């Protein structure tokens, strides 16, 4: 674990005492910086904060996708497109105002896919919120043509049962490469929702013909939990009624599902018919939120979104093992628990903080993660030793000046820099200079949808 957070100036002065700081885990009031003040470890630099698309200032930023020289940042009110070819001079290009949370995004070629888990009066960008108890309400996936970065166009909507809280892009294979698939995760059915009736316990799979994306349609709805899943464990945020998020490792034909009360492995060799191969539960977990494989596909990190992202869980009262990452080795097809990881920099009791979205940093032979923690900021973690993960860098701010919620939703490494979506400020650009991550500079990607993992070969 890393030291309790301090101001940048204090960290620089204390650099010679780094070994001592690395072992310090308890925070004092003096360690909480002033509201909104940026603090980092000595190996991390804050490069820039890029503003949101006008019109999205008051709605929450969510997930990020990358392709070529562009970053696409989802937002509860639409999405923004940034030119990042020169990260130090990155700039906002355009975007779309199109409300409907969460706007989890993936990109492929000229297409952007956005998840809508908010019942709307219709599927248009002019829709308004409307109760899910009304049969005519719409929620699901919107598809945009992004071939013209300055003028993206909305081209198609696909309705899915219980909407689309998140989505995961899965490329076709072999003769099926002319298609991509979207694994749609949704949950929380109700007897009063005509299009989201219990038991749900399934995902929706959309097939998108790349040559004619307007023909996109749901092709299957496989049931993940025929037995109902984990519904009775004390302390669950919500009982299992579907999945929150799925990460696929397409070239290995495997996927990991973070499914509310359950962690799941899938065989996805048949893209339209994923098969559950392993399941696990953890009495310490409240809500299985997201998953990340290591590069070899021999480990999975699952995150526990204790408190649903709105609670202050990074404090001494909650402790180091709840609202944390859980690291599992995959041994003979089964998930074997090895350890928990949580940032040791205790946050103020006003700060929402819990394990959230992150990605691998591509260093060959090592397992290194960069991860968002809401108001806990951004953490750099080496989990090469599954039983002894260690934080070795961080970026964050002092508490939100308003005293309300905020912070970093997603933090992802892409071609030498870390990009982090802040709820209200916009897109943060961050640089790490460290011997552990320096080899990643040799790895260049053409596209990154973090929930669509691909192997990397460089980084020597």
In a domain, 261, yes or no: yes
**CA proximity to 137, closest of 178, 218, 192, 62:** 192
Q: Percent of the chain beyond pLDDT 90?
A: 92
In a domain, 414, yes or no: yes
In a domain, 325, yes or no: yes
- What is the band of 177 on the pLDDT scale with cuts at 50, 70, 90? very high
Whether residue 10 is predicted with pLDDT greater than 90 in this model: the reply is no
- List pLDDT tens digits, range 25-44: 334 445 888 999 999 999 99
In a domain, 458, yes or no: no
In a domain, 2, yes or no: no
Phi, psi of 355 (to 5 degrees): -55, 130
E strands, 56-185, are 61-67, 70-75, 78-83, 91-97, 102-108, 111-120, 138-145, 153-159, 166-171, 179-185
Domain of 200 in residue numbering reads as 8-453
Domain of residue 388, CATH code = 2.130.10.10
Q: Which tokens belong to 244? A: 């929150």
Q: Model-level pTM?
A: 0.93
In a domain, 459, yes or no: no
Please report which helix (H) or strand (E) contains residue 104, including its range.
strand 102-108
Is 33 strand, coil or helix?
coil
**Bridging pattern class, strands 44-50 and 275-280:** unpaired
Residue 275 burial (CB count, 10 A): 12
Please tell me the total count of domains within the chain: 1
Sign of dihedral through CA atoms 307, 308, 309, 311? negative
Whether residue 423 is predicted with pLDDT greater than 90 in this model: the reply is yes
In a domain, 326, yes or no: yes
In angstroms, the CA 158 to CA 135 distance is: 16
User: What's the pLDDT score for residue 292?
Assistant: 98
Of residues 349 and 29, more confidence is placed in: 349
Q: Which tokens belong to 160? A: 């899915």
User: What's the pLDDT score for residue 20?
Assistant: 30
In a domain, 145, yes or no: yes
């Amino acid at each position: 674990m890393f030291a309790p957070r301090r101001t940048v100036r204090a960290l620089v002065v204390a650099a010679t005492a780094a070994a001592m700081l690395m072992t310090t885990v308890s925070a004092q009031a003096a360690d909480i910086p002033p509201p909104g003040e940026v603090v980092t470890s000595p190996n991390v630099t804050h490069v820039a904060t890029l503003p949101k698309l006008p019109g999205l200032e008051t709605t929450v930023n969510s997930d990020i996708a990358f392709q070529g020289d562009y970053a696409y940042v989802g937002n509860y009110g639409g999405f923004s497109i940034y030119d990042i070819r020169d990260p130090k001079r990155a700039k906002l290009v355009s975007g779309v105002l199109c409300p409907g949370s969460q706007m989890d995004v993936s990109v492929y070629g000229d297409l952007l896919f956005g998840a809508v888990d908010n019942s709307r009066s219709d599927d248009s960008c002019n829709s308004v919120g409307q109760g899910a108890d009304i049969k005519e309400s719409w929620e699901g996936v919107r598809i945009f043509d992004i071939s013209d970065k300055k003028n993206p166009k909305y081209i198609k909507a696909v309705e899915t049962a219980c909407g689309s809280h998140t989505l995961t892009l899965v490329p076709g294979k072999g003769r099926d490469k002319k298609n991509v698939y979207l694994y749609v995760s949704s949950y929380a059915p109700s007897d009063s929702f005509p299009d989201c009736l219990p038991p749900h316990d399934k995902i929706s799979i959309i097939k998108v013909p790349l040559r004619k994306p307007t023909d996109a349609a749901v092709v299957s709805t496989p049931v993940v939990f025929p037995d109902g899943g984990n519904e009775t464990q004390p302390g669950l945020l919500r009982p299992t009624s579907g999945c929150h998020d799925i990460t696929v490792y397409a070239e290995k034909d495997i996927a990991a599902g973070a499914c509310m009360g359950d962690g799941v492995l899938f065989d996805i060799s048949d893209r339209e018919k994923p098969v559950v191969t392993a399941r696990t539960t953890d009495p310490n977990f409240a809500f299985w939120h997201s998953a990340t494989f290591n590069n070899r596909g021999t480990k999975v990190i699952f995150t526990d979104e204790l408190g649903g992202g709105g609670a202050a869980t990074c404090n001494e009262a909650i402790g180091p093992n709840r609202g944390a990452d859980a690291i599992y080795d995959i041994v003979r097809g089964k998930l074997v628990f090895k350890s928990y990881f949580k940032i040791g920099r205790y946050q103020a009791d006003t700060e929402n903080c819990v394990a959230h979205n992150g990605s691998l940093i591509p260093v060959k032979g090592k397992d290194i993660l960069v991860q968002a923690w809401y108001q806990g900021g951004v953490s750099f973690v080496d989990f090469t030793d599954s039983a002894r993960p260690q934080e070795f860098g961080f970026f964050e701010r002092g508490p939100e000046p308003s005293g309300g919620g905020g912070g970093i939703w997603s933090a992802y490494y892409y071609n030498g820099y870390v990009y982090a979506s802040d709820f209200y400020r916009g897109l943060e650009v961050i640089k790490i200079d460290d011997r552990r991550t320096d080899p990643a500079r040799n790895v260049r990607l053409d596209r990154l949808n973090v929930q669509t993992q691909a192997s990397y070969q460089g980084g020597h």
